[in-house]
């Protein structure tokens, strides 16, 4: 898989929330997007996911233009901040319902991921009773359970306990080895240093690309 962003600018009102973004993302790598709050990190993820369309420029996924030739990237898994689920259903019921949309995840796939992240798939607890960390795990699972080839994760380590942080790190390394294309944001320098092959630092909607060696330049 390849994502090519060319001269992407998104203007809301009179403000460029993303300005002249040019970047190419390839399978088999983990990319980190970093910057201060309000720098455009989440907008960048929405851009490459097809959730926002450009005022100028374009995004291509395997040569197809988002918003013209395709609406969304095929085989996309995405976690945006504060994932929402149906509160009156269990976690397992929520994931099974989502899996029916594309029929790419079996019950066994869902159960395996829930076990991996220490969520009891047999539990009758409703999602409205879940902690923030448990909801975060559900969000992570739905982004991966269908063997998606492009995985977009907005602050995936938020609210996770130490064991789950390590589990997620191991899972991301495994997915990278399977040639998945992974893009993530994180406020934690350690996550970026340990996992990402490349980092992109955003400031006021403008991008400076760097290797992982430049992570120390990230503004607190």
* Residue closest to 147 by CA, chosen among 112, 192, 186, 195: 112
pLDDT of 211 = 56
Domain boundaries, the chain: 1-72+186-220
pLDDT of 92 = 99
Q: Where does the pLDDT of residue 177 fall: very low under 50, low under 70, confident under 90, or very high at 90 and above?
A: very high
pLDDT of 209 = 60
CA 178 vs. chain centroid, Å, equals 17
Mean pLDDT of 94-98: 97
* Strands 2-12 and 198-203, bridge-based pairing: unpaired
Better pLDDT: 207 or 30:
30
Q: Which CATH class is domain 1-72+186-220?
A: alpha beta
> Rounded to 5 degrees, what are φ and ψ at 72?
-140, 155
Kindly state the percentage of the chain with pLDDT values over 90: 84
d(CA 133, CA 51): 25
pTM over 0.85: yes
3-state helix, strand, coil in the chain (%, to 5): 35, 30, 35
The answer on pLDDT for 220 being more than 70 is no
Digit-coded pLDDT (tens) for 103-162: 999 999 999 999 999 999 999 999 999 999 999 999 999 999 999 999 999 999 999 999
Q: Where does the pLDDT of residue 210 fall: very low under 50, low under 70, confident under 90, or very high at 90 and above?
A: low
pLDDT of 160 = 97
Better pLDDT: 200 or 94:
94
> Rounded to 5 degrees, what are φ and ψ at 210?
-155, 165
Q: What is the residue-averaged pLDDT of the chain?
A: 92
pLDDT of 81 = 82
Q: Where does the pLDDT of residue 188 fall: very low under 50, low under 70, confident under 90, or very high at 90 and above?
A: confident
* Residue closest to 83 by CA, chosen among 134, 41, 123: 134
Digit-coded pLDDT (tens) for 10-43: 999 999 999 999 999 999 999 999 988 889 999 9
pLDDT of 145 = 98
């Amino acid at each position: 898989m390849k994502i090519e962003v060319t001269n992407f600018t998104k203007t809301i009102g009179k403000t460029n929330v993303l300005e002249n973004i040019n970047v190419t993302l390839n399978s088999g790598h983990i990319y980190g997007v970093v910057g201060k709050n309000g720098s455009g990190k989440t907008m960048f993820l929405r851009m490459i996911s097809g959730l926002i369309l450009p005022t100028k420029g374009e995004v291509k996924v395997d040569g197809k233009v988002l918003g013209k030739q395709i609406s969304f990237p095929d085989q996309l898994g995405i976690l945006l901040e504060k994932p929402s689920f149906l509160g009156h259903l269990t976690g397992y019921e929520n994931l099974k319902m989502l899996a029916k949309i594309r029929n790419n995840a079996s019950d066994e796939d869902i159960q395996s991921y829930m076990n991996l992240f220490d969520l009891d798939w047999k539990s009758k607890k409703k999602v409205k009773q879940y902690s923030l960390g448990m909801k975060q795990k559900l969000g992570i699972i739905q982004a991966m359970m269908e063997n998606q080839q492009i995985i977009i994760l907005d602050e995936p380590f938020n609210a996770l306990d130490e064991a789950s942080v390590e589990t997620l790190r191991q899972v991301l390394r495994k997915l990278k080895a399977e040639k998945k294309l992974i893009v993530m944001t994180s406020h934690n320098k350690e996550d970026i240093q340990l996992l990402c092959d490349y980092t992109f630092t955003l400031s006021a909607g403008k991008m400076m690309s760097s290797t992982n060696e430049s992570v120390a330049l990230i503004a607190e």
